Structures are given as structure tokens and as C-alpha cells.
Amino acid sequence: MSSRDDILASIRANRPKLERPLPSVPLFDADRPASLLAAFQESLERMGGVFLDPPPTGDMLAPVRARIANAKVVCSTVPEISGNRDLAGVRAPQDLADVDFAIVRAAFAVAETGSVLLGERGLGINALAYLAQHLIVLVDPADIVVNLHNAYQRPEFRSDHYCAFHTGPSATADIEGVLIHGAQGVRSLSVLPLPRAPAPH
Amino acid sequence: MSDPDMLHPELRAPDDSDSITRQGRRLDHAEATSKPLRSRPEPQPRGAKIHGNRPIDQAEAAARFLAAPEHEKMHDERLWDLRQKRDREMHGIPEWEELRSLASAIKEHTLTHLDEYLDQFEANARRNGVHVHWARDAAEHNRIVHGILKDHGAKTLVKSKSMLTEECGFRPYMASVGIEVIETDLGERIQQLDNEDPSHIVVPAVHKLRTDVAEVFSKTIGTDPDNSDVHYLAEAQRESNRPLILAADAGMTGCNFAVAETGGVVVCTNEGNADLSANVPKLHIASIGIEKIIPRLEHLAVFVRLLSRSALGSPITQYTSHFRGPRQGSEMHFVLVDNGRSERLGLDEFWTSLKCIRCGACMNTCPVYRRSGGLSYGATYSGPIGLIIDPTFNARKYSNLPFASTLNGSCSNVCPVKINIHEQIYAWRRELVKQHEVPFVKKAAMKAAGELLSRPAAYRAAIAATNLALGHLPRFVLYNGLNAWGKGRENPRPPRQSFHSWHLANRGDKA
């Protein structure tokens, strides 16, 4: 017998013969915060993220430009701002090891936890979001869902081969509980609320 | 500055220069402490002595841990802090108890239909282009992974933390066949470089002081032995690991949840090291315990909401990563591992231990674990969950472990999937008495505990009395020879209110 058949046979022989119906899970979203964006900001900052306030008028991307002003290598996958490292010319993830700032757009965000979902389509190369020293994420305020129950209704988890919630930067406190940002991945994660550009016709 | 919520106020750091603040608020996400702590250097006590198959003497190793007060106090304080952070999160979620009930029900349903969901998971994973393998036991798991690596000519492997690979003795096996394995989680890397097992399933080096880490790193990655600044040590590890990640031939992760409906696996880390391990090399292998299956994405939401809050008192891990198929030009392999799980499913009293999501909340709250250190258990799984899992691997070697408990029930109360841990600990004692000689004192204590456990109301009354008593009774009452656990150990300060009485007072109307 193959290991597969062995294991399944052993499960069938041993599994408790008990009635255990599968519960369906409510969305727990009756109490919504007045502002999803404000709730998202609060959660993001608790988790070590930086919320970039766009100016009321003028260049919405000014806070992003200020952040990358002194960076050597900037890799952007969003049309709103350009970097100086074109992903089209990158052959392997390892080629991204010298990126200082990556700028990407989140598929959506979660107010409950301050998370942004980054998937293979927004990243181009998945490793970009981890090898870069710093990450800047654009989020359309219309793309914020209230909690994780609503988040898992989204199509990305069924369509993407890879997607991940990022909630603040790479962090650890494995040594004496002292908080470190930039454990192995990005040292900072900043989020700029910015509506998506209308799709070209 | 004294803090009423601290067990050991003398550990409070005089300043908070290590901390990170945001909008004037001190951050304590991930496994960070909610207040600054500072230890004084002290030689690190080591774990249980292993003599082949002979029963582990947990009490002996625990006594050595207690004899190192800086280690013992820091360990106690940090884990109790995680427990308090967990409570804070729990109070912020009105549906917390409903989530726990849902999590338990989802797991029990899945485990009683495990063959069907594994079948569905496998079919969907294959459809997504993933290679799926099945391993009956640890040896087969290691052989399969070695085979995949050989097929790719891979010599180096970067991996994220996985209790399953610890269970399988994966690193020693890979060393024996000439594959270099590099752990990418800071805590796990510290333990690997120190040739020591992880002492906790979520914070592997929680038993070490910063000076212990400085010593390990100075000998292995060339840091200054006199510099134990935590930011310096963490940065040195990041810088030493990065080139190894970039050069690795293959990457490996564990799996927190495997979703049958999508055929994908979910991995939760704070460091993003699973994402580096899986997304940089051309080959990703995920080792999956067969009990990790859940039916659908809607169920995943319940577990993601509970996991990090229970483990660390942080709303979510920094990264929650969903791997459903290989990226272009790379390969993805899933290894489904049984290693005793299907047999455990047939144990009437113990099968629900398979609901465990490895959050470590039971360890953080356990007075015995906090005072004796995870390495004193001499087993892959330590703390309360270890007491009920380890004997299924080796009843003789781990026969003493179920006695390393006060049966205070706190573990069951914090368990996010409602495993009746303390009752299973007691049931294991009974089981092991049947199978082995158990010393008289332990038997006498068991008899009394057994009578209490069989009557829930009396048990709760006894816990209420014990919690009051722990604060006020003279030492000789707690540390007499008949209290098998109190021997050689100091009892912790009891919580002001037991969970059950809190629940009745606060949520009784909803129960």
C-alpha cells in the first residue's frame, strides 16, 4: 500500500464516529467603525506601520517622494510614481537584493488589523516585498474592509498563487522581548491612502 | 518604579531606550514586552538530561532553572506579560468566546472527516500545480524532502520555523546527508547556532538572556562578545543570514493552516522569513501535519483572528502568507505528514489534542512552565500541550511529564480551540499509572485530584480557594512533601480572579 493509502486507511479506522456538524461563520461586522480609514490607521500604527497623510491639495504623492528622496535604488510597480529599477529587466529575485524602497499597491486593506494584502499581481516578483529595505504601499480608501471575515470573502485567495497580509514591517522580539523592526524583511512599511487611477479606455 | 502587574518588579528597566514609539505610544506588537525589562548576566542553565529512552527527569532540570534566578524571573515575567497582552486582546473582541467555540467546532468537524478533507486538499493542490507527497512518519518525511532536494541538486536549504520539522529530527538528518540547513527566524537561528532545541513553540529562545545570545553570536557569527545590545545582535543576525538566503538552493516552510477548498497553505510569521524562504529560491517545500487541514476560507478567518492574539497578545502576525501554487519558473512541494496523528485520532480521551493550533497560550499561562523553562521537558513539545502530546510519541520516555502540572486549569481556559488540556493531563496520569510504576506521592496526589476533577462544581470551588490561598498560606503548606509539584518550586502569584468566575461575572448572561 502507498503511504497515502496507509494514512487514509488509518484515519478511517481511527476517526471518532461522532456527529460534529460544520458551523458556518458569521461576518461579525454589525458594529462598524464610523471611518474605516481612521480605524485602519489606528491598527496600522499599533502594528508598527507608518501612515502617510496626503496633503489636502496639490501633489498627493508628496509624502512618498519625501521618503524616497535620498534612496539609491527605488523599484515601483505602480503607475503613479516611477523608480529607477525596472522589474521587466529583473531576471531573478536575488537581483532585488539592493533595492532600498519598493512601492506597490495593495489589493485591499483590513481595518481590524491594519493589514494590507499584497499579491503576486501587485508585486510582480514576490520577493520584492521582502528583500527591499523599505516598503511603501498605496491603498485605495474604497478598498478597506472592516475585518478578517470580510477579507476572506475577497477573490484574491482563490485566484492568486501567492498573496500575503502585511501588517507593519518585519518584526521580532525574540531577544528579551525587545521590539526590533527589520528582523529579516523590510525595516519599515508605510501606507499612503490614494484612490486607484481610473482604468484607461 | 514599581508596577502592580509585574511578577518581578525588580526586572523593570530604569529607562526605555530600546523601545519604538509611534504617535507617542510605546509599541508592543509581535512578541514585544508591554514594559521595558532588563536582566543581569548569569550563566545559562541547560535543559533536561537525555539518556536514550529513560524517563525524562523534568523536575531535576526545572530545579537547575530555578537555581538561575535571572533566567527564571525573566522567563516568568516575559511569558506572564504575553498572557496579560492576550487578555487585553480578548477584552477587545466582543465575540471572543464565540470565536473559540467556532474554532473548536470547526476543528472537531474536520478531524472527524479528516480523510475527506485531505483528499479534497490534495486534489486542489495538484490542480494548482503543486507536487503532493505523503509521509507515514518522521523518517519518511525526511527521506522525501531529501529526495526532492537531490532531484534539484540542492545543497543548501533556508527554512522558517516549523514544530513538525523539529518533531521529525529534520536538521540532524539533513546534516547526516550533507545538506546545509539554515534557520531564518531569529529565535530559531539562535537555538540552531547554540545546538539547542527551541524551548517554546512560538518564542524559541525565550529562556535566554541577551547576554546568552551575545555569547552564542560572538562564537558563531563573529559579534563583539561584550556587546549585548539587542538591536545590535538582531542586526548582526539579519546581516549574516541575508547572503545565505540569497544563495540558497531551496526554501522550506511549515504550515499553520491548510485550506481544503483552495488547496493552499497559510504560514504566519512576524519576521517575514517564511516569505523570504519560499519566494527567493526556485524550490519551495512545505511540511504539513495532517491535522492542519481546515475546510474553507471562511473558517480560516476564525483561526487567524485567534492565533496571534492568543499566542502573543498581538492582533495578527506581521505576515500571514497564503501559498496556493508555484510562481512562474519555480516548483512547490507539499509533504503531508502523519507521524502518529492518525493513531492519536483513535484515542477516546486524547483525540481532541489534535485541535491544537500551536499558539503557545497554554505555555505562557502555565505556572510550572514559566518557572521551569521549556527545555526542562526534554521533548519537542513542552508546557501543558506537550504533557498531553509527548506521551503519544513515547509513553516511557515522557512518563513523568504529565506530573509537571498543578491541574489549575488555566491552560484549558486560554486555549483558543478549547482543548480540555488539564483534564487530559490528569487522564494521562491515570493511563501512565496503568502502564508504568508511578511513585507513591504522585499516586496519592492523583487520587485527590481525580475526585475533584470528576465534580466540576467542586473543582471550581477548589480553584477559587486555591487562588486565594496561594497568596496567603504560609510556605510550608504549599511546599510540603505531598504537593508533588510544589516540591523544588515556588508557586506563582495567583490571578486575582479565575477565568471561570470572571466569565460568570462578565459574560454570564451570554453563556
Rounded Cα distance, B236 and B239, in Å: 5
Task: State whether B275 and A171 contact (CB < 8 Å).
Answer: no
As beta bridge partners, residue B258 has B265, B293
Q: Give backbone dihedrals phi and psi of A189, rounded to 5 degrees, phi first.
A: -130, 120
Q: Could you tell me if B61 and B34 are in contact, meaning their C-beta atoms sit under 8 angstroms apart?
A: no
Please tell me the predicted confidence (pLDDT) of residue B442: 62
Where are the extended beta strands (E) located within B163-249?
A: 180-183
Chain A, nearest residue to B116 by Cα = A8
What pLDDT is attached to residue A197? 82
Q: What value of ipTM does the predicted structure carry?
A: 0.98
Total-model pTM: 0.91
Task: Report pLDDT digits (tens) over A28-42.
Answer: 999 999 999 999 999
Chain A interface test: which of B207, B271, B336 (most A C-beta within 10 Å): B271
CA B358 to chain centre: 5
Binary contact (A120, B327; C-beta < 8 A): yes
By DSSP bridging, strand B283-289 and strand B250-253 are parallel
Contact present, B481 and B440 (Cβ < 8 Å): no
CB within 8 Å of chain B, chain A residues 51-90: none
Question: Which domains can be identified in chain B, with CATH numbers?
Answer: 56-92+360-510 (no CATH), 105-339 (3.40.50.10420)
A179 and B348: CB-CB below 8 Å?
no
Does the beta-carbon distance from A176 to B20 stay under 8 Å?
no
Which H or E run includes B233? helix B230-247
Q: What is the CATH number of domain A34-193?
A: 3.40.50.10420
Q: Which of residues 14-33 of A touch B (CB under 8 A)?
A: 14-18, 20-26, 28, 31
B324 touches chain A (CB under 8 A): yes
pLDDT interval class at A198 (50, 70, 90): confident
Asked if the C-beta of A126 comes within 8 angstroms of chain B's C-beta atoms, the answer is: yes
**Taking CA atoms, what residue in B is nearest to A118?**
B321
Cα separation values, B206 from A70, B37, B75, B78, Å? 38, 13, 7, 8
| Rounded Cα gap, residues B6 and B35, in angstroms | 9
User: What is the pLDDT confidence band of residue A65, given thresholds at 50, 70 and 90?
Assistant: very high
Contact yes or no for B246/A97 (Cβ under 8 A): yes
Q: Say yes or no for a CB contact (<8 Å) between A3 and B135.
A: yes
CA distance B458 to B460: 5
Note which residues in 232-271 of chain B have CB less than 8 A from chain A. Answer: 233-235, 238, 241-242, 245-246, 262, 264, 270-271
The per-residue pLDDT string of chain B (511 residues; one tens digit each, 9 = 90 and over) reads 457 789 999 999 999 999 999 989 999 999 999 999 999 999 999 999 999 999 999 999 999 999 999 999 999 999 999 999 999 999 999 999 999 999 999 999 999 999 999 999 999 999 999 999 999 999 999 999 999 999 999 999 999 999 999 999 999 999 999 999 999 999 999 999 999 999 999 999 999 999 999 999 999 999 999 999 999 999 999 999 999 999 999 999 999 999 999 999 999 999 999 999 999 999 999 999 999 999 999 999 999 999 999 999 999 999 999 999 999 999 999 999 999 999 999 999 999 999 999 999 999 999 999 999 999 999 999 999 999 999 999 999 999 999 999 999 999 999 999 999 999 999 999 999 887 656 555 665 555 555 555 555 555 555 554 544 443 333 434 444 444 454 444 455 555 555 555 555 555 444 3
Question: Are B272 and A165 within 8 A, CB to CB?
Answer: no
Which three cell numbers mark B176? 547526516
For A127-150, write each residue's pLDDT tens digit.
Answer: 999 999 999 999 999 999 999 999
Q: What is the pLDDT of residue B474?
A: 38
Yes or no, beta carbons of A178 and B184 under 8 Å apart: no
Note whether B276 contacts A: Cβ–Cβ < 8 A.
Answer: yes
Which of B174, B163, B188 lies closest to B381 in space, CA to CA? B163
In chain B, whose CA is at the least distance from the CA of A29?
B95
Cα of A199 to nearest chain B Cα, Å? 26
CA–CA distance, A106 with A121 (Å, rounded to integer) = 10
Residue B436: partners with Cβ closer than 8 Å, 6 or more residues away: B395, B396, B399
Report the C-alpha gap between B320 and B303 in whole angstroms: 11
Using the Cβ of B289 and the Cβ atoms of chain A, whether some distance falls under 8 Å is answered with: no
Beta-carbon separation of A175 and B322 below 8 A: no
Q: Using alpha carbons, select from A4, A29, A162, A190 the residue that is nearest to residue B274.
A: A162
Cβ pair B323:A21 closer than 8 A: no
Strand, helix or coil at A1? coil
* Under 8 Å between Cβ of A197 and A142: no
